Amino acid sequence: MRLGGRLAAAIEVLSDMEKRHRPAADALKDWGLSHRFAGAGDRAAIGNIVYDALRRRRSAAWQLDEESPRAAAFGALLLEWGETADSLDRTLDGDRFAPERLSETEKLAIASRKLIDAPDVVRADIPDWCQPHLERSFGEDWVAEAAALAARPPLDLRVNRLQSNRDRVLADISETGAMASAISPNGIRIPPIEGSGRHPNVQVEPAFQKGWFEIQDEGSQIAATLASAKPGMQVLDFCAGAGGKTLALAAEMENRGQIFAYDSDKSRLAPIFDRLKRAETRNVQAVTSLNSLDKLEGELDLVLIDAPCTGSGTWRRRPDAKWRLSTRQLDVRIGEQAAILDNAARFVKPGGRLAYVTCSVFAEENTDQVEAFLQRHPDFACVDQEALWNERLETGKARFSASGIVMSPLTTGTDGFFFAALERRA
């Protein structure tokens, strides 16, 4: 397929998402099933246009002075692919599978509108209602921080130290362009793709099959490192999900001690069993019944809460979620987080530690939750978050406060994450 056909397909997918209110992954999958003639390269290019259009939907609409799937797709090529109105005219000319070329009205809008002159929310590529939340979280840097959340993400890997080391993995996957991560001591990064390219399928690599590494954003890796799990500890991963942080904690503990990986949803926890086997992790017990944890009250050295959240820190990877998110969903998450904190805190022993993590950049889910929790539980206190960072990591600078640490694409080059460590007074 030429660019015109790929662009038309992207517009079709974006239109399907708009009409049926469905996630991008589902719409792209269905398009691929009904267009089996499209090769892997075509599907990757179409997916890139769709995701770029979603990341830059607001600025694309402003650039073309039109809010539609067509404007979003054309805007993606103009804003992210280095195309111009003239180059698109030349490329689409004579392509019978291409969408209708840019109209004179659209060309005039493109020529007369400079993104630097656009309103803040447009340059930030966010819904209006998110502005006060991001302003509160990032202050005068909020537009730049939000814009960084609209960029293409890298592919991050975490080396499993139970089976290998970073130098060995880097040598084994050298053809992928991988390099050591900037902050995580166990991290490897494959840079963001350009144009119609795609990240390598690292899961087919022998090193992955042998359990030498896992796919995990560097921010998530850093959060696991900051949790400070040590060999011999008794640990609870309270919202374990598919087990990404559980595996990271097990490696930190050198397979010694015990980790209880709990999730109330059996389907979310199900992938952990294959992952544990591949990683040769032997100190993890998967748990789906909260009642079975009752005997652990007041007994654990570390309780990690990877709390359900809005996911605003992952907008680079899930840009469609940015436009589906609402204030009501934020309120629901805030209530869930408070209940989970209260429930999980009872398992921490005197002198033990509670680690609270979200993949959100909203203060309401982060510092506000920590401060409210401390009001309800005066037997807990925050550790010195910046000192903890400096103790556990050799480099990097995040946003620090007394109540936690904020990571973001702009400041740390990671997804948006929040981390707070609290200790239970002896």
Judge whether 238 and 304 are in contact, CB under 8 Å: yes
Host H or E run for residue 207: helix 206-209
Alpha-carbon span 194 to 191, nearest angstrom:
9
Q: What is the 3-state secondary structure (H, E, C) of 65-93?
A: CCCCHHHHHHHHHHHHCCCCHHHHHHHHC
Task: Return all residues near 238 (Cβ < 8 A) that are at least 6 apart.
Answer: 262, 303, 304, 305, 306, 340, 343, 344, 347
Q: How many CB atoms lie within 10 A of CB 291?
A: 7
**Phi, psi dihedral angles at 114 (to 5 degrees):** -110, 130
Alpha-carbon span 382 to 404, nearest angstrom:
8
Q: Residue with structure tokens 């119609």?
A: 196
b/e per residue 136-170 (b: at least 16 CB within 10 A):
ebbeebbbebbbbbbbbbbbbbbbbbbbbebeebb
The stretches of 315-360 forming alpha helices (DSSP H) are: 319-324, 327-345
Alpha-carbon span 177 to 123, nearest angstrom:
31
Residue 52: which of 86, 10, 84 has the closest Cα?
Answer: 10
**Phi, psi dihedral angles at 222 (to 5 degrees):** -60, -45
Residue 167 counted as an annotated binding residue: no
CA quadruple 46, 48, 54, 60: dihedral positive or negative?
negative
SS3 189: strand
Exposure of 222 in the CB half-sphere (CA atoms within 13 A):
34
Which amino acid would we find at residue 117?
D
Structure tokens, 102: 């840019």
Structure tokens, 410: 């702009």
Structure tokens, 28: 């792209």
SS3 367: helix
Residue 306 counted as an annotated binding residue: yes
- Write down the catalytic residue from 130, 239, 309, 359: 359
Query: Is 239 noted as a catalytic residue in this protein?
Result: no
Alpha-carbon span 133 to 136, nearest angstrom:
5
How many residues are listed for the chain in this entry?
A: 426
Q: Which residues are annotated as a binding site for S-adenosyl-L-methionine?
A: 263, 306
| Residues annotated as catalytic (active site), given as ranges | 359
Q: Which residues are annotated as a binding site?
A: 263, 306
